[in-house]
Amino acid sequence: MYQYLGVLEMPTDPSVENTASAVAAYVMASVTNPQDYVSRRNLADLLWRTGAPSRWSERLWRDARTIIPSEASLWYELGLFCWVWGRIDEALEAFRQAVRWDPSLASRVYGHLIRLGRPELLERITPPDLRPELAEFLVHRGFTEAARSVLQAVLDGGNPKTLWQALPLAATYPEMGLTEAFLERLRDRRSRNPDLAYWDIVGRVRSGQWEGLDAATWEALQVADRTYGRGDRASLDFRDRLARLLVDAGLRGAAQTIYMEVLTRDASYGAAYQGLGRLALQEGDLQKAFEWLRQAPEDDATRAALLQVGLRALETGQAGLAEWVFEFMRGRWAYQATGAYGLALLYERTGRSAEALEMARPDDVAVARLVARLEYRFGDPRAAVRAWERVLERDPRSAEAYGGLVEYYRLQGLTGVTGDLCRRAQAYGVQVPLCGQADR
């Protein structure tokens, strides 16, 4: 009861003058229940924040930690306390224990030391099994040399599990020069683990080592077959993953070969159709891209690719193909809104404004913009205003919506409204050319 009373009595902005009730409640809670570490922790934090003698807070934190030594947040708070008082070694030990008991605290501790300009201390507080995560943290913050040092420590440690966890990072950043060393350490697993062969290829692609890449790719496929079996789903998924890597590296021919081989094994494997469709789209063969993508899984990636096929067809004067694509999409539940948007855009560009307005009804920001444009030009300006207002509800930085509304209200002589719209746009950092003329 006293613990909850302390929480209730805690002021929003604690000071010596307004915390007596909360302090008393936490003290009583600690006295009546020797195992109440929460009240000790809350009291330590309260005393620390109100400028009480530091030894009081430290004693309470240590008492709480004695009651429950596995509570990572207590170690973290004690670490911060020791750091403030310049007791660096004690702080680092407390941080190390915090990360040991709760690895999710690592990024918070790392960020604290980075902000203090002490990245060289991070390795000292990191347990060996968390070194791969530390290396990744350092790389993403631009400390490549420090990350390399951590990865070297992983190599020196020789733990197979940690080596395996760190391999993707080493392969993704071949400039650190450690990929081969990692693969060598794990060599005895390579013949039965396709992922090792995959990360070998990642390292080669990232570092531009094209010589021998075909042989490495063939080896990876063979290992996958031996590990998973030729017709197993895992083997097909591995091929899809490898083909995506090769596409990203610009090796579209090799990727296409892999996808075609997959379809000889399982003609219903949807990811292969998706991959072949994207390849055809990249090569500009829109008809072939559509033929592949219409057989792909109905997901967001396929929807985006089909939309690109339709838009590219529209841009290149292939209105018939664009209409075919968008009609197909409108007939599929997963693509219905996108297909309707594509048809509305097609009809607008080909002068079929009535059909465009009939089509552009789904509740979507892009469609709402199109509806507003069409209504303003060919239909009811008041409907255009409602559509622009819907756009701003979902996208308050739409310059097109602000511009349309400013133009409409200015023509109606409502300069007060146009002024409000211009100020609203300015508050969002949106440049609206008509705003400079709104009050003239």
Of residues 355 and 11, which shows the higher confidence score?
355
| Confidence (pLDDT) at 357 | 60
**In the predicted model, is pLDDT for residue 166 greater than 50?**
yes
Q: Which pLDDT belongs to residue 327? A: 87
Q: Which two tokens stand for residue 365?
A: 């920001």
- The pLDDT of residue 5 is 38
Q: What is the mean pLDDT of residues 51-61?
A: 65
pLDDT score recorded for residue 367: 61
pLDDT at 377: 67
At 300-333, the pLDDT tens digits run 888 889 989 998 998 898 988 988 988 898 888 7
* Reported confidence tier of residue 277, pLDDT bands at 50, 70, 90: very high
Q: Which helix (H) or strand (E) holds 365?
A: helix 365-378
| pLDDT in the model for residue 226 | 87
Residues 275/243, Cβ–Cβ less than 8 Å: yes
Kindly report the average pLDDT of the chain as a whole number. Answer: 79
Is residue 268 predicted with pLDDT exceeding 50? yes
Residue 33: what are its φ and ψ, rounded to 5°?
-135, 100
What is the model's pLDDT at position 66? 76
Cα torsion through 103, 39, 7, 108, rounded to 10: -20
pLDDT > 70: percent of the chain: 79
State the pLDDT at residue 303: 87
Tell me the average pLDDT across 58-74: 76
Q: What is the pLDDT of residue 114?
A: 81
Amino acid, res. 257:
T
H or E segment to which residue 182 belongs? helix 179-185
**Residue 191 in this model has a pLDDT that exceeds 70:** no
Mean pLDDT of 364-388: 69
Pick from 9-18, 111-120, 279-288, 289-298: least confident: 9-18
Nearest CA to 363 out of 334, 332, 394, 333 is that of 394
Cα dihedral 208, 212, 218, 224 sign? negative
Spatial CB neighbours of 174, under 8 Å, sequence gap ≥ 6: 203, 206, 207
Would you say the C-alpha torsion 132, 134, 137, 142 has a positive or negative sign? negative
The pLDDT-based confidence of 439 (bands split at 50, 70, 90) is very low
**Confidence band, pLDDT 50/70/90 cuts, at residue 7:** very low
Highest mean pLDDT among 156-170, 196-210, 287-301, 377-391: 287-301
